[in-house]
Each structure stands twice: as C-alpha cells, then as structure tokens.
Chain A
C-alpha cells in the first residue's frame, strides 16, 4: 500500500525502538537528511542502522549516533576525517560495529530484497572479516558464505516519484536506494518532486513502486 505523506515527521512516526533501519546514501550523496532529522525528533532508540558509513560531520546519521539512538552500525567504512561522533561512541563502547566489505554489504542487502538465503563470494576469503564463516572451494576459488541483511524500515532519497511510487534518482546519489527499497519491510522515500502517474518514462524507472510504501516531498 502506497501512501503520500505530507511531512517527514508523519512518515517516520511508526518506527519503533529496536528497529533495523537502512539509510541510503554514500557519504552525503543520497543521504535522506530530512527523514533522519525526523527520526531523531521522533525519539526512536536502540536502532540498528545499515549505511555505508557511520555519519559525516554534525548532520544526519552522525547526529543520530551522537544522540545515542544507534545501538549497532552495520557498515563498510565508518572511519573518516569527519566521523568524530561515531569515533567517540565506538571508543566509549557505546555503539557496536559490524564491519562488512562494501560489496558484501551491497550484495547482502540485494539478497534480502531478492529472497536469497545467502551466497558464496571470494571477497574477504582468508581475512579477519571472514573469520568463523563457512567456506567452500567453488569455481576454482575459495569462497565465503554471506547472509542477507533484512530491515524493518528503509529511509531513502530519490529525485522524483510518480503517482505509483516509481522512483528515479540523480547521478551517484542513487547508490544504495534501489537495493534498500527492496530489502526493507517498509520503505520511506523522500523526493524532490512528484509527477502524476505516467509522468515518468517507464523505460527509465529505476525503482518500481512495488518496493515503496511511503513518499514524502521535501523542499
């Protein structure tokens, strides 16, 4: 069921404490700042957050971490020159980290959306990030078993939605949006514009509306 919602606050109001929340974006590109601010406002806590990074600077995901709402981060690249809020929480033992190679992160999210129970990949074989995982020799290579990452909610950013919830993105801001939309039970997309049904060329749609539950337009 697709809903067009007037405010970001209403869009995130149903997110419960302890939820697993996927947040789109790579760095700041594609990060749904307005939805994250609303999530901070609504007070949900004890969250497991899936994102490539662990927040930049003093905005968006970084603030969610700073305010202690994030119990666990699942990400590939937390440490950056401006990841000070994550760094402080991690060093204080106040946030758990599951570090995942970036391609495994993407493929595990994709697997969840595609109903795949797990997959073998050579990435990470023989490294500390594969310790304790099942391995098999397949196609002439040692490979590691990886499991899907499911989520209760995905918060993503797209450029334009149509009346059916079909989405198009802009440049490298697309990044995790399409796969997170498919992997979460409930996907909330913030968009810059909404066009009537039929207003997007069907050949160019990136995320079909079937994956999208709530759309909210932000300025």
Chain B
C-alpha cells in the first residue's frame, strides 16, 4: 500500500492495476470492498444510509478510519446485536449501533459543523443521478405526490472534502444515471468527485469525466451506455 500523494490528501491515487478491466460487473459487496480499499488510512468518513453503509463491513482495522454519524457521534462501531442494543445509541438510519474506544458524542449543530466546516475527509452517498461536472441528485424524485425528505444530504454533499457516490450505472429501464445534466432536483452542485458503479469507476470534475477502471466492459462499450464523453484516466 502506498501513502497518498495526490492533491486530495485523503484519497489514494489510481495505480496501474486500477486501470485494468476486470472480468464482470461488480456486485454490491464487491463495490463496497472497492470503496473501502480506496479510503486512505486515518480518514474521517460519513457513510450514507443504504448501500454506502456496506462499506463499513470492509474497512480494515489497520486503516484506522473514524466513522461519523450525523445524529451526533464520531467513532461509531458496528451495528448492535442482542444485549448491545440501546435506544439511545443509533446511527443516522436510526439503526442501533455500538461505540468504539475513543468515541465522542456532540449535539446536532456541532455534528453538522463537522460536515459544513470541511472537517470530514470523505462521505459516501447513494444517488439518482450524477452529472458530468459532479452535480448530485439524490434526495427527491420530484414526483408531485412524493413527500420530500432531505435529511443531511445537502450538508454532506457540500461540506465533505470528497464526495463518493455508489450506485448502479443504469436504472431498471437501462438509462444511465451518469448524465450531462441532472433532471431530478439537485442536492448539490459540482460536489461529487468519484462515482463507483457496477460497471466502472468514474472521476468527475470541472474537466469532465474520466474512467479509472471498468468491470466487464471496455471503455468503448461503456461509452455506448453513457451519454457524456468519457476518457481514461491518465
């Protein structure tokens, strides 16, 4: 393992092995394992509700990652079971969790200051859509009868130093969720730095989309699925 040297201090640079195409699309757990591997040692990380939570299963103790949960804790441990379950100790998904040695509790304004003040290295979020320039849509379908609920999504998207998205590349109908411009209501503008999908890892930013690696398809095949210009990472 190398020490990170790129300008995102908390993120490991892609190496030669990362650029290879592996044999088949990644399942949810494989994707979670990949995200976990890419989190630099010593990082402070917030994992969003749903698929991103799986990442915690693959963090190695020697990575020394501290998990933040926005309801007011650093040093969150695994989900509680049996006698460990305590209604006063829950995560942002309201699931009972445990505390690790060195954990701390704080009130909600302090907890969001941790995000909003730029102190978190990485957050991992799900998404409905991500645009080529890193706009994120993940909180509201915009359907007229939908009851909107935003929670901490906008604070995380705007405040974390790096925003990683985990999602399937395509909707059930086969439409790309990586898009030129988001059609769903936005969560944040230009905030996403990486998109981890079953078919590829994308780096997003003001200069467009780079593909770091593909799973079960070539870059050319990937380009037929995605309506934004793709190039390989250099």
Contacts and interface: CB of A to CB of B under 8 A. Distances in A.
Interface of A: 26-30, 52, 56, 76-80, 83, 86-87, 90-91, 97, 99-107, 109-110, 121-129, 169-179, 206
Given A77-B150, A170-B88, 10 more contacts: A26-B108, A29-B89, A77-B151, A79-B149, A99-B150, A129-B154, A171-B73, A172-B71, A175-B107, A178-B107
A174 B147 contact: no
Contacts of B146: 79
Interface in B92-109: 94, 99, 105-109
A30 B105 CA distance: 13
Contacts of B113: 107
B109 A179 contact: yes
B153 interface: yes
B149 A174 contact: no
Majority secondary structure of chain B interface residues (helix, strand, loop or mixed):
loop
23 contacts: A26-B72, A29-B71, A52-B108, A76-B151, A77-B149, A77-B151, A79-B147, A97-B147, A97-B148, A101-B155, A102-B151, A103-B112, A104-B154, A122-B116, A123-B154, A125-B189, A127-B154, A127-B188, A171-B73, A172-B69, A172-B105, A173-B87, A175-B71
A78 B107 contact: no
Contact of B107 (A52, A97, A103, A177): A177
Interface centre among B105, B140, B151, B187 (most CB of A within 10 A): B151
Given A26-B71, A123-B159, A128-B185, A171 B150 contact: no
B29 interface: no
A172 B150 contact: no
Contacts of A123: 116, 154-155, 158-159
Interface centre among A27, A80, A102, A176, by most chain B C-beta atoms within 10 angstroms, is A102
B146 to A, nearest CB: 8
A101 B153 contact: yes
Nearest to A127: B186
A179 B150 contact: no
A105 B107 CA distance: 13
Interface in B30-46: none
A102 B99 contact: no
B18 interface: no
A100 B139 CA distance: 12
